[in-house]
């Protein structure tokens, strides 16, 4: 009995430590959010404060009033993130189905080559893409960002792992009944993939939403920019921008990601978990 109650106390201790850690993990976001409601002169005041003093939206208004077309840029980010997500869901599921379920010559070789993609940082591929886009008129165009984000090695890898962990019997039975591969894919495999797909969706969405390096290389017109580039313009040349206004813009940029996560979290967590298990 005594041993058990001491275990409970240890348990509570662990949970308490975790709560404390969780709050610390959130502190940077809390400071950012609180700064978006303060004047710039208070930015680096000591002691720091992590809660908004008022709910005065002046800094948010200032973002919208600036010469940076923030709403337009917000829309661009949404378009790029949504279309990239849809694209990846399609291309990655198709490929993952083939790599996990179908037999054809060169399959493992192709898959291996595809995996290589994880190893190439964006800095390596951007210049040739720029030159290619210049030829076909995709510079300064959010669709150019969509196009280069339509597939990913990570997505294919993750979905393939997930599919391989699912039982095959249903599919084999359907094949015996003379169903085509497309039908098997669409009617049987896809419905089972739901949690993995929502995980991939959130990873792709946030990846496109947060991307900085590629958009910066491919976009110069403020009307075609995405949110991380708008932050640069608001921070200003030589940092002459107003830090509170930047924080307000950042808070607005973070908001959809937080919402998306809150809505989809259960599915996401279920899905992410499968990317790693069972080879």
Site for other proteins in 31-60 (CB under 8 A): 31-32, 39-48
Stretch of residues binding other proteins (CB under 8 A), selected from 51-59, 78-86, 89-97, 166-174:
89-97
- In angstroms, what is the minimal distance from the CB of 119 to other proteins? 5
Q: Which is nearer to other proteins, 79 or 147 (CB)?
A: 147
Percent helix, strand, coil in the chain, to 5, is 75, 0, 25
Take residue 221 and report the two structure tokens written for it.
């017109």
Any idea which residue has 């997930």 for tokens?
162
Pick from 95, 273, 278: which is nearest to 189 by CA?
95
Lookup: tokens for 14: 């662990």
Query: Where does this chain touch other proteins (CB under 8 A) — which range of 51-59, 71-79, 166-174, 270-278?
Result: 270-278
Is residue 172 a contact point for other proteins (CB under 8 A)? Answer: no
Residue that the structure tokens 């949404």 belong to: 78
What is the per-residue binding string for other proteins in 6-25, x denoting contact by CB under 8 A?
Answer: -----x--xx-xxx-xxx-x
- Between CA 99 and CA 199 the distance in angstroms is 19
Residue from 75, 236, 259, 263 that binds other proteins (CB under 8 A)? 236
**Closest separation between CB of residue 88 and other proteins, Å?**
9
* Shortest Å, Cβ 144 to other proteins: 11
CA-based nearest residue to 52, from 39, 61, 69: 39
Q: How far apart are CA 242 and CA 6, in angstroms?
A: 53
**Count of positions on this chain that bind other proteins (CB under 8 A):** 119
Q: Which of 103, 109, 167, 191 binds other proteins (CB under 8 A)?
A: 103
d(CA 125, CA 143): 18
């Amino acid at each position: 009995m005594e041993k058990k109650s001491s275990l409970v106390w240890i348990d509570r201790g662990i949970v308490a430590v975790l709560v404390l850690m969780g709050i610390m993990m959130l502190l940077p976001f809390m400071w950012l959010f609180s700064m978006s409601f303060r004047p710039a002169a208070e930015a680096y005041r000591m002691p720091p404060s992590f809660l908004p003093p008022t709910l005065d939206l002046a800094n948010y208004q200032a973002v919208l009033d600036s010469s940076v077309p923030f709403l337009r840029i917000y829309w661009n980010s949404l378009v790029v993130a949504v279309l990239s997500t849809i694209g990846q869901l399609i291309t990655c599921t198709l490929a993952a189905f083939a790599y996990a379920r179908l037999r054809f010559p060169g399959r493992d070789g192709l898959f291996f080559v595809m995996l290589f993609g994880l190893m190439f940082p964006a800095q390596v591929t951007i210049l040739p893409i720029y030159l290619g886009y210049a030829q076909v008129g995709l510079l300064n165009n959010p669709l150019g960002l969509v196009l280069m984000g339509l597939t990913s090695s990570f997505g294919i890898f993750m979905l393939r792992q997930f599919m391989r962990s699912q039982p095959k019997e249903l599919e084999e039975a359907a094949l015996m009944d003379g169903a085509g591969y497309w039908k098997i894919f669409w009617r049987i495999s896809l419905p089972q993939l739901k949690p993995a797909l929502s995980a991939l969706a959130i990873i792709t969405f946030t990846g496109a939403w947060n991307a900085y390096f590629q958009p910066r290389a491919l976009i110069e017109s403020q009307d075609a920019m995405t949110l991380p580039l708008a932050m640069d313009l608001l921070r200003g040349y030589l940092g002459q921008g107003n830090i509170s206004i930047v924080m307000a813009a950042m808070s607005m940029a973070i908001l959809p990601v937080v919402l998306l996560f809150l809505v989809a979290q259960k599915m996401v967590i279920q899905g992410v978990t499968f990317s790693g298990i069972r080879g």
